[in-house]
């Protein structure tokens, strides 16, 4: 399926075509009681990319992320989906690095530790599911090849004691229901991710680790909705 996608990220257009940078996002779902709740934070107004928008924790892949050795590896299905159609040639180190980037950014932006008890601990990556991938279209002031992971918040060791001082990239961090999130100022790609996740949450489920991953990108003048299927 293809169509002309409207503004993807809410950022200004850029005359130079920028190369997408690898990034990773973590969609955390809290399911202890009542309606499922998702961790959301508002970006500061001074950011050039998506100012004031509500988003999931996430950010760019750092070289150091690829050097982290996990305590437990990614599920084979998640690893395989990360390797599929990877730009620049498939690399397991880079795939694990993307997973670690999502966890590191969640710590840096939200003060939450996923799959470990201390920052220095090797992370457990086994609870992450690759749910979606999207590449920012050409012409934006920032371009990312973003991988969206979904995980149960039960893997957080300090879920009720985040180390967040309010001075990070994400402000007003909250666990919100889908109904509450619907009233927020969201990037279109975040809305898309939530719409794809909703059928699972409505059934009290999270996507299985071998589920197809939505893959969205620009080709020519069209926005392509594809899938990564094992």
Residue 83 sits at the vertex; the CA angle it makes with 221 and 217, to the nearest 5 degrees, is 10
pTM exceeding the 0.85 threshold for the entire prediction: yes
Q: What is the CATH number of the domain that holds 62?
A: 3.90.79.10
Q: Which domain holds residue 111?
A: 2-219
Q: What is the DSSP letter of 154?
A: G
What the block records as the tokens of 47 is 């950011």
Query: Is 68 part of any domain?
Result: yes
Query: Can you tell me the distance from the alpha carbon of 180 to that of 155, in angstroms, rounded to the nearest whole number?
Result: 23
Query: Is 94 part of any domain?
Result: yes
Q: What are phi and psi of 116, to 5 degrees?
A: -165, 160
Residue 190 sits at the vertex; the CA angle it makes with 187 and 196, to the nearest 5 degrees, is 145
200-205: long-range contacts, CB 8 A cutoff, minimum separation 24? 201/29, 201/36, 204/31, 204/36
Query: Is 158 part of any domain?
Result: yes
Q: Check residue 22 and give its pLDDT.
A: 96
Query: Is 144 part of any domain?
Result: yes
Number of helices (H), then strands (E), in the chain: 4, 10
Query: Is 227 part of any domain?
Result: no
Give every residue of the chain whose pLDDT is below 50, as ranges.
Answer: 1-14, 48
| Nearest alpha-carbon partner for 169 in 110, 104, 114 | 110
Show the beta-strand stretches assigned E in 15-62: 21-30, 37-43, 54-55, 58-60
Q: What is the DSSP letter of 13?
A: B
| Nearest alpha-carbon partner for 79 in 213, 227, 216, 196 | 213
Query: Is 226 part of any domain?
Result: no
Query: Is 230 part of any domain?
Result: no
Residue 146 in contact with residue 23, Cβ under 8 Å? yes
Q: Check residue 143 and give its pLDDT.
A: 87
Query: Is 130 part of any domain?
Result: yes
Q: What's the distance, CA 8 to chain centroid?
A: 15
Q: Check residue 142 and give its pLDDT.
A: 80
* Predicted confidence (pLDDT) per residue in 85-138, tens digit: 999 989 999 999 999 999 999 999 999 999 999 999 999 999 999 999 999 888
Domains in the chain: how many in total?
A: 1
């Amino acid at each position: 399926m293809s169509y002309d996608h409207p503004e993807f990220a809410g950022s200004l257009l850029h005359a130079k075509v920028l190369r997408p940078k690898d990034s990773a996002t973590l969609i955390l779902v809290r399911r202890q009681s009542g309606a499922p709740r998702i961790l959301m934070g508002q970006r500061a107004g001074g950011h050039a990319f998506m100012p004031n928008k509500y988003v999931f924790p996430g950010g760019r892949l750092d070289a150091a992320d690829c050097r982290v050795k996990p305590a437990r590896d990614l599920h084979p299905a998640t690893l395989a989906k990360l390797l599929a159609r990877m730009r620049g040639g498939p690399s397991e180190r880079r795939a694990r690095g993307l997973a670690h980037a999502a966890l590191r950014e969640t710590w840096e932006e939200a003060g939450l530790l996923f799959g470990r008890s201390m920052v220095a601990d090797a992370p457990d990556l086994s609870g992450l599911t690759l749910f979606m991938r999207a590449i920012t279209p050409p012409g934006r002031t920032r371009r990312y090849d973003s991988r969206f992971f979904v995980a149960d918040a039960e893997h957080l060791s300090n879920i009720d004691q985040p180390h967040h001082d309010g001075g990070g990239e994400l402000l007003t961090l909250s666990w919100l229901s889908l109904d509450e999130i619907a009233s927020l100022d969201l990037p279109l790609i975040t809305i898309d991710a939530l719409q794809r996740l909703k059928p699972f949450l409505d059934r009290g489920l999270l996507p299985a680790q071998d589920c197809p991953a939505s893959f969205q990108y620009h080709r020519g003048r069209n926005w392509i909705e594809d899938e990564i299927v094992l």
